[in-house]
Amino acid sequence: MSLPEKAFPVSWDQFHRDARALAWRLAGANKGQWKAIVCITRGGLVPAAIISRELGIRVIETVCVASYHDYTSQGQLQVLKEITPALLVDDGAGVLIIDDLTDTGKTAGIVRAMMPKAHFATVYAKPKGRPLVDTFVTEVSQDTWIYFPWDMGFTYQKPIADDHAG
Ligand SMILES: O=P(O)(O)OC[C@H]1O[C@H](OP(=O)(O)OP(=O)(O)O)[C@H](O)[C@@H]1O
Ligand code: HPA
Ligand SMILES: [Mg+2]
């Protein structure tokens, strides 16, 4: 297992602020009028909850995709549950697709193909995935791993000087 060079840990508070910032941007797009949210599980569940609250969207659908089976290594992408046909009309126009991040862009590419006219939004984006999303909040470099608060717990931190002792 190879770990990306840099770490970008995100606290619950920071994630809430960043997801709210995404909601502000989305309120300005499509006049804030969305038919429904399609949330890409599982990572999209938390931002979808925050955005649905901020924008008053009550219809929430899931598309269930899994690709990172072993922590940081990506495997075969599996679609475990498809989008309800009711939302696929008119290629998904007026629908908001939400995920926590786009990395290589593979997940975004697969879901975009299901709804080419939907608006795709993520909280974070890495350069390879960035061209596939319409709206995001923060870009992080490709060699960075984003640590989400739901994947973390409190642990002891070594003093910075311990790694710089000469
Ligand atoms: O741009 P990509 O390289 O495709 O990676 C991005 C996807 O990877 C993660 O999901 P994951 O498959 O790990 O499942 P999870 O959301 O259930 O954690 C993340 O939540 C995105 O959906
Ligand atoms: O940087 C990441 N962090 C968490 N999950 C991910 N899935 C793909 N890339 C990432
Ligand atoms: Mg995911």
Has residue 1 got a pLDDT over 60? no
Rounded CA-CA distance 55/27 in Å is 7
Specify whether the CB–CB gap between 107 and 67 falls below 8 A.
yes
The domain ranges of the chain are 15-154
pLDDT bucket at 70, cuts 50 / 70 / 90: low
**Per-residue burial over 110-120, b = 16 or more CB atoms within 10 Å of its CB, e = otherwise:** bbbebbeebbb
CB of 106 closer than 6 angstroms to any ligand 1 atom: yes
Residue 103 among known ligand-binding residues? yes
pTM of the predicted protein model? 0.93
23-42 per-position pLDDT tens digit: 999 999 888 789 999 999 99
What ipTM score was computed for the predicted complex, to two decimals?
A: 0.99
Which residue's C-alpha comes closest to atom 8 of ligand 2? 103
Closest-lying ligand 1 atom to the alpha carbon of residue 67? 12
CATH architecture of 15-154: 3-Layer(aba) Sandwich (3.40)
114-128 per-position pLDDT tens digit: 999 999 999 999 999
Residue 60 among known ligand-binding residues? no
Rounded CA-CA distance 68/27 in Å is 31
Specify whether the CB–CB gap between 120 and 107 falls below 8 A.
no
> What pLDDT does 76 receive?
87
| DSSP-derived secondary structure for 105-155 | SHHHHHHHHH-TTSEEEEEEE-TTTGGG-SB-SEE--TTEEEE-GGG----
